[in-house]
Structure 1
């Protein structure tokens, strides 16, 4: 090709991650809040795992799902941040083609996994509030394990076509990805072939997987709210609704930015590129950062255990 910015290759050995286009001079400053969020995500989710392991009273389905959420959040943020920080701090923009596809798989896989875990947690709240006498017989430990395996297998199998399809496309435009990480749609857009199958499959995952997850969460909370409003006293209603507060905050922190980011990437051609990239990064980092804070502050058992831990250390 005559264009100096294009290269004839069908399988590039490396991609170049541009970072945040247009804001390259501010990369070091942008790295400060992102790095802070990453540290909070790792330390906070590790603390959740430690508290649940140490506290015998937290051996319940809700906290097992919370541990799954914590592990998912740590893997999701770690799939994203080390390479992003190497771009911001050391201008290390190259990423091997296979490493790019691996990062793509992990980011999308654990994002779908988090969506599934939030559905499982909604189901747990539904059973606990709408069928409290049957909670221990419905959500037994074997059932929790089966739900966990189903969530993991679903996300692993659904996202597997992403790298498999992406690997087969010829790339003859450029190997520069205008992002900090290898998002599926950003890589597919570099291919010089008819990639409608990848685009349609990505939309299928967005609407038919995350969309269905949002529907099941909404359905669960419709039944939960009906049960809460049927309680006789205001105090009972507030106390019961309080058990759902942490989960509702996690749902809002995950689904709203994820939906906005996905739609902006696909249909927001008039949105500034640097804004789209920033929103995409914030979407992936906010839930892992906020979840341990939400559950640490709002869940009395976890909060009390943490207070006892620090009190004993202080004495």
Structure 2
């Protein structure tokens, strides 16, 4: 203890231990290198991280594997594959080859992570091809891409996780907008090979979402649960509209209880895209992420163990 004005200052209280199922999606500290993101997560007491391919590519897969293994963290997912809505062409072939590389990276990084790591590759389908208005055709090409990639993913032990995005992104990022659409696309495949992502930001508005979460549970297809909040007004760049849990209108109690009831016991990622968050110190962002998760999400979890 330190004397202060004749008195004694008690030692500073240690920060609370983050919930064991909290995973920091690396996009939340977008400008961090892979090493910085791993270090920030470990320093904050987190046990898991969701990775992105770009920071992995910056150091190379072999070095990324080494860094992940040294960190002692679980890997909850790798973002991202997909963007395969183009008609048959050199562009589509390149996209499919890139997805195979992403599958290989997912397998390697999950193997490097701590026990309980998930070999999950998040897929964002892609938008309507430039110069086209064929939304139906773009969705059909997503199904065709899954048919082509599923055997490769199965051989690698990787689960492809279709992420439906809010309809405002249908034109340029994802022609899959609802959990029902994602589950219908996944239905022809073994659940261990093709699953879905439940992301509160993208799905909160859908009146059928809780029924579809239950369906996903029955089918064993929930590969990832991602949380962040929705608040208006939206920024000019609507990609950067994600808020810390508890700062907006999403019912995290209802969502989280539904996902728990559906049988999901894996890591839960906080994934934030917001200019102010990206500009803040990494340690502050991770601490605030852990606090908001504990207050708004963890209170509704029955289980604390991550399924291996």
Of Structure 1 and Structure 2, the greater helix share is in: 1
TM-score by length of 1: 0.24
Of Structure 1 and Structure 2, the greater strand share is in: 2
Q: Which has the higher contact order (CA 8 A, sep 6+)?
A: 1
TM-score by length of 2: 0.25
Q: Whose Rg is larger?
A: 1
